[in-house]
Amino acid sequence: MEPAFRGSGSLVRAAILAVGSELLGSSRIDTNSLWLTARLETLGGEVVRKACVGDDAGAIAEELRHAARQAALVLVTGGLGPTADDRTREALAEFSGGRLALDTALLSSLRDRFARRGIPMPPINEKQALVLEGSEPLVNPRGSAPGIWFERDGVVVACLPGVPSEMKGMFDELVSPRLEARHGSAPRRRRILKIAAMGESAVEERVGPVYEKWKGHGFTILASIGEVQLHLLATGTEAEATAILDAQTADFERALPGRIFGRDDETLEAVVGEMLRTGGATVATAESCTGGLIAQRLTDVPGSSDYFRGGLVAYANDVKAAWLGVRETTLGAKGAVSEETALEMAEGARTRFRCDYAVSSTGVAGPGGGTPEKPVGTVWIAVAGKGARARLLRPPGDRAMIRGWTCAAALEMLRETLKDN
Amino acid sequence: MEPAFRGSGSLVRAAILAVGSELLGSSRIDTNSLWLTARLETLGGEVVRKACVGDDAGAIAEELRHAARQAALVLVTGGLGPTADDRTREALAEFSGGRLALDTALLSSLRDRFARRGIPMPPINEKQALVLEGSEPLVNPRGSAPGIWFERDGVVVACLPGVPSEMKGMFDELVSPRLEARHGSAPRRRRILKIAAMGESAVEERVGPVYEKWKGHGFTILASIGEVQLHLLATGTEAEATAILDAQTADFERALPGRIFGRDDETLEAVVGEMLRTGGATVATAESCTGGLIAQRLTDVPGSSDYFRGGLVAYANDVKAAWLGVRETTLGAKGAVSEETALEMAEGARTRFRCDYAVSSTGVAGPGGGTPEKPVGTVWIAVAGKGARARLLRPPGDRAMIRGWTCAAALEMLRETLKDN
């Protein structure tokens, strides 16, 4: 445990409770708690336990009692919806001994929400305007389920919806400021460094000496498809912590020259988008094996219409030829999965979408379609700009992993090209 | 709670506790409990709660006390290794008030294990031969950590190692037979019914009478972006359980006519793909606001190249005109987000990709770009086949939710069209 937490001199003990019978089955798992744990860490909190319980008010209340004995902060997710099996509200009332009363202001804000979508509010949603005596409703700008902030005997219980996007937004906008006001601000700073299209072990090998140099500092390495994240954590005043993080970042950058594409919440598609916007440049995509994934990631970014003109998913060979101008002779002699086809796809897209840049993918995503010469996982990507270049990939894993990795590698190749220009 | 469980007439209430400080960080998650849940289900057990706790004997003992009040069977994973932070043994002793004593037979079997690998047993492993008075050690054929079987006051506590392969083997070989001997077995069958592009409350309102009719059976409703799942669970012999599930399914189908698109692991894109394949038909996409998401979902399915020919992401207006033949007059008079543009996009894609069907999307995904007449969340989708029709959507939420919902609604509209033909 690092020393931390201004004010009390110790970390705030936190418990997380995920509500939902579906989380007790054999297929779904609570992942909200991972995100909440990372956020709590930066706020000087420490998760000491977490639990999942079904949609049963008595059982939830029992879990609240237990959690409140173990922790000073209990974060609850789920069970705030309008349906009969959403029981967190009732459970909190049972736990606190308080009453639920209709909040007319909340009710009318719920009605407004439905009215804006042009539909009448279903009667069952009225339940979501019930507020526990002595608690504070937390308005949910992204959904109908309001959250709850409740304090008693030095224990805070904060209830948030289970839908990840709603939960995250409400934590950052409503819960985090209340926790900071209560406990002072975070003595721990986290920084995430992101690397695309490089394997976890390859990153690990290169950064070994940096780990060694900063021994005693806890680094975490986290891999997802096509992306590796290095999590840095430093303690001290803001200035001290930032100085440590900056020195560590410089060492990681030397170990991975040019490969750290962004930090913290930055995504690869947003970084690439910002480079295009800054350069006043436009881009298009020509995808085969990724089937629209590259275009989808580029357009995930708000405002991407400023630089993204369009994309083609050219699945059938005659579509590659007719829509992108890939030559029949290339397809015949080299095949759809080849350096030449990838290059002609990228060049065709750049010319025909009238863009500055275009990126292409063509490969065998599997599980079928592999041959001895081009087994599943054989992928070519290309970027066309002032010139054009292609790269052979051999991503590991199943169809989803091959597509995901290819997409990350294509965006990373585009980033490299933009950086060099 | 459902009636069930041969012998006692009810399901065995089970709790799962995962021990390990690494499970309380922001990157690791307990997945052993998913496997254990599936196994318990077939044995007539029902997981009523699960929790994770760190490597602290007092905290583990506290969790054991709480779990033993909620359940008749407590399955513990992890904390049985030889190191200082493996504290499950001590915690169980604290929970039970019993003593730990060296089991010489267990000690010599541990020594033998190391001897077979040709290495002397490290002294720290001696700790693993400590056995709680009144408990039964469970021999681990795959590793050094023995498990523990302990009963008191009708509650069984079974401790297994956290390493998945060791845990699974020991559960099947040692715990499962003991549970069957104690309780008999009662299989449960689960079925998931899936509905696309319909809100959770809308589904709930329609199926209310079915819930009422089957009162006492536990249904769970689960919503993700653009999809609602109804989880059904039935107990009895396989034939009995299947008969119940079939009768319930028929009732849900009457309550949601034509809207249940699939079951269990079936995805909407796979169901649509199968309909296209069966009909020998082909499809293309023309996407604006979804930016490639529809094409990506369609091509997530292995073998989709049999029916998916290609797709266009037409982000810029001149791309809609030049590549799909959307008329400049339509774009000028009606705007890019309009019924007419959606229809011309779908018809253009169907003709130009030379397909039997095409699906299109155009809308304001936000956060920018909204106007008083066409606020964020205004979306038109269309399907072209023998004829063409369009539909106005107003999905709630942020950019990701609007795009995700639109994609589900477009695939669902394609499914309806294919079904009618």
Decide if B113 is inside a domain: yes
- Contact check, Cβ <8 Å, A313/B285: yes
Judge if B139 and B17 occupy the same domain.
yes
- From the candidates B32, B39, B49, B224, which should be mutated to test the interface with A, based on the most A CB atoms within 10 A? B49
CA–CA dist A294, B402 (Å, integer): 19
Higher-scoring residue by pLDDT: A242, A201: A242
Establish if B263 touches chain A: CB-CB under 8 angstroms: no
Of B24, B53, B353, the CB nearest to A319: B353
A317-336 pLDDT, tens digit per residue, is: 999 999 999 999 999 999 99
Selected residue of B30, B65, B315, B345 to mutate for chain A interface (largest A Cβ count, 10 A) = B315
Residue A116 above 90 pLDDT? Answer: no
Which of A183, A198, A224 is the C-terminal boundary of a domain? A183
Residues A126 and A30 placed together within one structural domain of the fold: yes
Are A255 and A207 in contact, with CB atoms under 8 Å apart? yes
The answer, yes or no, to whether residue B10 has pLDDT greater than 70, is: no
**B220: contact with A, CB 8 A cutoff:** yes
- Beta bridge partners, A188, equal A235
Is A176 found in the same domain as A67? Answer: yes
> What percentage of chain A's residues is helix, strand, coil (to nearest 5)?
45, 25, 35
Q: How much is the pLDDT for B6?
A: 29
Q: Nearest by CB to B51, from A49, A295, A316: name it.
A: A49
Evaluate whether residue B220 is within a structural domain.
yes
- Model confidence at A8, in pLDDT bands (50, 70, 90)? very low
Q: Using a CB-CB distance cutoff of 8 angstroms, which residues of chain A are in contact with residue B369?
A: 305
So what's the pLDDT on residue A420? 87
> Per the domain annotation, does A5 fall within a domain?
no
Determine, yes or no, domain membership for A2: no
Do B366 and B399 lie in one domain? The reply is yes
Mean pLDDT, range B144-166, rounded to an integer? 92
Do A29 and B26 lie within an 8 Å CB cutoff?
A: no
Residue A50 has pLDDT above 50, yes or no: yes
Residue B50 and residue B127 in one domain: yes
Domain that holds residue B364: 268-420
Residues A245, A220, single domain; the answer is: yes
Measure the CA–CA gap between B326 and B268, rounded to whole angstroms.
29
Q: What is the pLDDT of residue B231?
A: 84
Q: Which of B167, B183, B199 is the last residue before a domain boundary?
A: B183
Burial class (CB in 10 A: 0-12, 13-18, 19+), A111: middle
pLDDT at B185: 61
pLDDT of A411 > 60? The answer is: yes
Domain holding B145: CATH number? 3.40.980.10
Helix (H, G, I), strand (E, B), or coil: what is residue B39?
Answer: helix
Q: CA of B105 to nearest chain A CA: how many angstroms apart?
A: 36
Helices (H), B86-199: 88-96, 104-116, 164-170, 176-183
pLDDT at B2 over 50: no
B284 and B376 inside one domain: yes
Q: Are B221 and A83 inside 8 Å of each other by CB?
A: yes
Q: Tell me the pLDDT band of B181, cut-offs 50, 70 and 90.
A: confident
Calculate mean pLDDT across residues B238-245: 90
Q: Do B51 and A48 touch (CB under 8 A)?
A: no
More confident residue, B44 or B162: B162
Instruction: Give just the sign of the alpha carbon dihedral B207, B209, B214, B219.
Output: positive
Looking at the structure of chain A, the number of domains it has is 3
- Within this chain, do residues B309 and B335 fall inside the same structural domain, yes or no? yes
Q: Is B367 on the interface with A (CB under 8 A)?
A: yes
| A310/A383 same-domain check | yes
Say which of B69, B201, B219 has its CB closest to residue A125: B201
Q: Helix or strand or coil: residue B119?
A: coil
C-alpha–C-alpha distance, residues B271 and B266, integer Å = 7
Instruction: Please state, rounded to an integer, the average pLDDT across all residues of chain A.
Output: 91
Query: Where residue B186 falls among pLDDT bands split at 50, 70, 90?
Result: low
Closest Cα partner for A77 from A156, A167, A171, A145? A167
Q: Radius of gyration (Cα) for chain B, nearest Å?
A: 29
| Domain limit, last residue, from B211, B245, B263 | B263
pLDDT surpassing 60 at residue B7: no
Are residues B67 and B132 both part of a single domain? yes
- In chain B, % of residues over pLDDT 90: 71
Name the residue facing A49 among B41, B53, B294 (closest C-beta).
B53
Predicted ipTM beyond 0.90: no
Question: Any idea what the CATH number is for the domain that residue A206 is in?
Answer: 3.30.70.2860
Residue A6 forms part of a structural domain: no
Nearest CA of chain A to the CA of B96: how many Å? 19
For residue A388, pLDDT beyond 90: yes
B-chain residues near A311 (CB < 8 A): 292, 312-313, 315
What pLDDT, in 10s, does the model give residues B377-394? 999 999 999 999 999 999
> Are A308 and B315 spatial neighbours (Cβ–Cβ below 8 Å)?
yes
Written as one letter, the residue type at A25 is: G
Residue A186 pLDDT > 60: no
pLDDT bucket at B124, cuts 50 / 70 / 90: confident
| Chain A stretch 223-242, residues whose beta carbon is closer than 8 A to a beta carbon of chain B | 231
For residue B110, which of B84, B86, B140 has the smallest C-alpha distance?
B140
Cross-chain residue pair B313–A311, CB shorter than 8 Å: yes
Residue A119, SS3?
coil
Contacts of B69 in chain A (CB under 8 A): 62
The yes-or-no verdict on residue A89 having pLDDT over 50 is: yes
Non-local (6+) Cβ contacts of A110 within 8 A are: A121, A125, A126, A128, A129, A144
**Closest CA relative to residue B47, chosen from B1, B88, B6:** B1
pLDDT value for A187: 60
Asked if A299 has any chain B CB less than 8 Å from its own CB, the reply is: yes
Q: What is the CATH number of the domain that holds B210?
A: 3.30.70.600
A29, A113: one domain: yes
**Are both B259 and B155 inside the same structural domain?**
no
Q: Over the stretch A146-158, which tens digit does the pLDDT of each residue have?
A: 999 999 999 999 9
H runs (alpha helix) in A130-227: 164-170, 176-183, 200-213
pLDDT for the residue A185: 58
Which CATH number characterizes residue A376's domain? Answer: 3.90.950.20
Residues 6 or more apart whose Cβ sits within 8 Å of residue B82: B122, B124, B125, B127, B128, B144, B145
- B54 and A49 within 8 Å at the Cβ level: the answer is yes
Q: Which of B52, B70, B319 sits opposite A49 (nearest CB)?
A: B52
Give the 3-state secondary structure of residue B323. helix
Question: Quick one: pLDDT band at residue A1, thresholds 50, 70, 90?
Answer: very low
User: Residue B136 class from Cβ within 10 Å (0-12 exposed, 13-18 middle, 19+ buried)?
Assistant: middle
As a whole number of Å, the CA-based R_g of chain A is 26
Q: Per the domain annotation, does A1 fall within a domain?
A: no
Q: Is residue B1 part of a domain?
A: no
Report the pLDDT averaged over residues A61-65: 97
Q: Is the pLDDT of residue B1 over 70?
A: no
Q: With bands split at pLDDT 50, 70 and 90, how would you rate the model's confidence at A4?
A: very low
Average pLDDT taken over every residue of chain B: 91
B281 touches chain A (CB under 8 A): no
**CB B379 within 8 Å of CB B362:** yes
What confidence score (pLDDT) does residue B60 get?
97
Give domain status of residue B4, yes or no: no
Strand (E) positions, A20-118?
45-53, 73-77, 100-102
Put simply, the chain A residues between 178 and 207 with a CB less than 8 A from any chain B CB are none
Contact flag A124-B204 (C-beta cutoff 8 Å): yes
